[in-house]
Structure 1
Amino acid sequence: MAGGNAIRGSRVGAGPMGEAERGESAPRVVISYWCFNGHETKPSFAQEPGMVVPEQWDCPRCGFPAGQDQENPPSPPKAEPYKTHLAYVKERRSDAEGAVILDEALETLRNRGLIK
């Protein structure tokens, strides 16, 4: 059962800060962004001289990029499958080049007496 102490965990002067104590907030502008899935996001930006509003914004619901044109939202990024180190090596070298390198490495090991 709670002790009923109303000021427990608070300090002197604590309380909600109102507009008067914080000062006036900067004027804001709300921009709508739409993603490929049709989600609308409305971030607000401070209205300042020289303010540049971003062309794209990440959708907080699906993570796709969102644009300001509802009819033509940006397309989702293409997800490339995970490539192994061997896949990257095979992109740079042909099978014939790989065989030559393997033969050189095996010859080096044979000269050291590590393999027969």
Structure 2
Amino acid sequence: MGSGSAIRGSRVGAGPMGEAERGESAPRIRIAFYCANKHEVIPSFSHEAQVPEEWDCPRCGFPAGKDPENPPAPPRTEPYKTHLAYVKERRSDADGQAILEEALAKLRADRAAMDAAIKAMSN
């Protein structure tokens, strides 16, 4: 083991940067936002910045507003739809039945042609 008084992982001259090195920070204001789950978020903004009407809650992801009594409504999520659900939206049952009959007729015709070809080859 090496000896010494240096803190491991540091180097000479490393230290916290203060305002002397960075310059003065801009004046800030803190605005409270409230989400539908009653979470309170208090981000800080520059005095010169335009404060948004809504802010995303970091705890639940819902939108948060400035009024604690009337927070914005959570976004409405649509349930997952299957391919069949989308097809049923576009087509009626009668359309589906007609397409099915057309496909079955084509399959039956193809099968009859194949059976005839096999029968011709075996003779």
Which TM bucket (shorter chain)?
A: 0.7 to 0.9
Give how far 1:14 is off: 1.2
Task: State the partner residue of 1:8.
Answer: 8
TM-score of the two chains, using structure 1 as the length reference: 0.78
TM-score of the two chains, using structure 2 as the length reference: 0.75
Structure with the greater alpha carbon radius of gyration:
2
Structure 1 portions without partners, runs of 5+: none
Q: Secondary structure at the match of 2:64?
A: strand
Structure with the higher helix share, 1 or 2: 2
- Quote the RMSD (CA, aligned, Å): 2.6
Give how far 1:79 is off: 2.8
Alpha-carbon displacement from aligned partner over 1:62-97 (angstroms, at most 9, x marks no partner)? 221110111111112223222112111111211111
**Does the 8 Å CA contact 1:32/1:41 hold for their aligned counterparts?**
yes
**Does the 8 Å CA contact 1:35/1:74 hold for their aligned counterparts?**
yes
**Does the 8 Å CA contact 1:109/1:115 hold for their aligned counterparts?**
no
1:115 & 1:31 partners in 2: Cα distance?
A: 77
Give the count of matched residue pairs. 113
Structure 2 portions without partners, runs of 5+: 116-123
2:66 & 2:80 partners in 1: Cα distance?
A: 32
Task: State the partner residue of 2:72.
Answer: 74
Task: State the partner residue of 1:35.
Answer: 35
2:13 & 2:107 partners in 1: Cα distance?
A: 77
